[in-house]
């Protein structure tokens, strides 16, 4: 008999039929509920995309339209016009944001891993107290730290420098916590075997510890990028020269000090979409790692 070859989509569907028969009513309800919840959580993303494409007569219509009816790219053209009239080019703001975000991601993940590794595996005197202090810092609201952070940056003499952007965000207690929880799962016997074979601490850290922590590293990278990419505090408090400020600060200046609140709202909507897209792309690319981190962060 001649063998019938099914298309790959049909083959995948038929393979899932035995599994579908095992799904009970509760699981069906759970799947439907989670699907509805996922669709509901997509609404802000859909809104911000549609909002950037609205013409002015739809931006201020009441009741507001969730879906744009007459999409246009005029808001992006207005943003380019506004940028062309700036004393500092828009590309400079974007360059500062991209550079600061990339260095922050590398610096925070490296510092957090280097802090979590000795606390987890070397058990030096006072390691529990040190970890408790790190966790204790999570209790402080960011607003409480603004004045001490400003005094530190001012006394170090790093105002109007890239260090003024980077130094306040290099310490990330959440990153240390997530990475420590992953490193705790690494068997001590495996590390001892590596030391007996002649591996140094740097080699163990780079070849054994970091690969195990890749889900947590990806999560810390996402959190760091989101915090750095949307950070306005360092530009507002520590930078007096416009050439050292970032793109989020430029976004806040589009509608500030405007006598007419309608002016530049279209450009602000387009700029908000530009700010949002990198965060969305990075999260979609690394979402599997984030789920793995959340699943293992409480397991020892």
Q: pLDDT at position 141, please?
A: 79
Instruction: Give the domain 80-296 fold.
Output: MetI-like fold (1.10.3720)
Dist CA 240 CA 160 (whole Å): 6
- Residue 300: predicted pLDDT: 44
Residues whose CB is less than 8 angstroms from the CB of residue 149 and which lie 6 or more positions away in sequence, other chains included: 168, 237
Q: Are 210 and 113 in contact (CB under 8 A)?
A: yes
**Could you tell me the mean pLDDT of each successive run of 10 residues in the chain, 300 residues long?**
48 53 72 86 86 82 81 84 80 90 92 89 84 85 83 89 88 87 84 84 85 84 88 87 87 64 76 86 75 53
pLDDT at 99: 92
Q: What is the rounded distance in angstroms from the CA atom of residue 2 to the CA atom of residue 244? A: 71
Question: In sequence order, which residues have a C-beta less than 8 Å from that of residue 137 and are 6 or more positions away?
Answer: 173
Per-residue confidence (pLDDT) for residue 2, from 0 to 100:
47
Question: How far, rounded to the nearest angstrom, does the alpha carbon of residue 215 sit from its chain's CA centroid?
Answer: 14
As annotated, the residues of the chain forming the CATH 1.10.3720.10 domain(s) are: 80-296
pLDDT at 23: 66
């Amino acid at each position: 008999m001649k063998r019938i070859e099914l298309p790959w989509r049909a083959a995948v569907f038929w393979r899932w039929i035995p599994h579908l028969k095992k799904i009970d009513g509760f699981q069906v309800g759970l799947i439907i509920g989670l699907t509805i919840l996922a669709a509901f959580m997509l609404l802000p993303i859909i809104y911000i995309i549609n909002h950037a494409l609205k013409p002015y007569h739809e931006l201020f219509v009441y009741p507001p339209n969730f879906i744009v009816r007459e999409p246009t790219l005029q808001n992006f053209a207005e943003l380019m016009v506004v940028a062309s009239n700036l004393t500092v080019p828009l590309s400079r703001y974007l360059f500062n944001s991209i550079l600061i975000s990339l260095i922050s991601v590398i610096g925070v993940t490296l510092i957090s891993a280097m802090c979590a590794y000795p606390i987890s595996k070397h058990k030096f005197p006072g390691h529990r107290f040190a970890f408790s202090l790190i966790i204790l810092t999570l209790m402080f609201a960011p607003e409480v730290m603004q004045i001490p952070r400003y005094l530190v940056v001012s006394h170090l003499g790093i105002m109007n420098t890239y260090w003024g952007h980077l130094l306040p965000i290099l310490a990330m207690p959440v990153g240390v916590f997530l990475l420590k929880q992953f490193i705790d799962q690494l068997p001590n016997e495996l590390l001892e075997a590596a030391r007996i074979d002649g591996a140094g601490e740097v080699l163990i850290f780079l070849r054994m510890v970091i690969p195990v922590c890749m889900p947590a590293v990806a999560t810390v990278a996402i959190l760091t990028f989101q915090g750095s990419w949307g950070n306005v505090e360092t530009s507002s408090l520590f930078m007096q020269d416009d050439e050292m400020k970032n793109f989020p600060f430029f976004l806040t200046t589009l509608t500030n000090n405007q006598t007419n609140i309608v002016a530049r709202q279209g450009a602000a909507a387009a700029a908000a979409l530009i700010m949002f897209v990198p965060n969305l792309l990075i999260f979609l690319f690394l979402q599997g790692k984030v789920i793995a981190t959340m699943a293992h962060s409480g397991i020892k």
